[in-house]
Amino acid sequence: MTLIYAFLFSFTASYFFAVIYDAPKNLFFAAGLAGTSGYLISFILNDLLQIDSIYSSLLGSLTLGVMSHIMSRILKSPVVIFMIPGIIPLVPGSLAYKAMQQLVTLNFTEANNTFIRTILIAGSIALGLLLSDQLSKTLNIKKYWKVKRNRL
């Protein structure tokens, strides 16, 4: 049941952030699916398989990036239209809120640990998107090289 809720809420968040960012109307559903795919991978790895949230966020954002590149090629639109709304469910906002709350209550040791964890999760999201972008460019270059070699 929680998997269904995770699907619905991550799709809703990605869908409506595509609306907020004024994406074309025919791409709202695809942006929602891209965000859902990334968040569901992160959710399954973190909650069901008990993998650390840093690694699950990395693999979730890598999945999001790959799905964004696939959808951008299929629907012939920029990758950013799928990637930016898809990041929203992965962002560790509640963890940053807890860190600030611990800082305000002068609980410095726990605040420091929570801030570091938040920064590591945010960095892993950025790294996953970077890796997916480089993977897409690498696969695109190899495809171009095959076509170029066949012409000679």
pLDDT tens, residue by residue, 31-50: 999 999 999 999 999 999 99
CA 82 to CA 69: how far, in whole Å? 8
Burial of 60 (0-12, 13-18, 19+ CB in 10 A): buried
Contact between residue 6 and residue 40 where contact means Cβ atoms under 8 Å apart: yes
Q: What is the pLDDT of residues 89-126, one digit of tens each?
A: 999 999 999 999 999 999 999 999 999 999 999 999 99
| Residue 150 scores a pLDDT above 60 | no
Q: Which of 19, 21, 53, 27 is nearest to 39 (CA)?
A: 53
Q: Half-sphere exposure of 41 toward its Cβ, with a 13 Å CA cutoff?
A: 23
Instruction: Give the pLDDT score at 140.
Output: 74
Average pLDDT of every residue of the chain: 90
Between helix 28-43 and helix 2-20 the angle, nearest 10°, is: 140
Is 0.75 topped by the overall pTM? yes
CA 6 to CA 36: how far, in whole Å? 8
**Mean pLDDT of the region 11-28:** 93
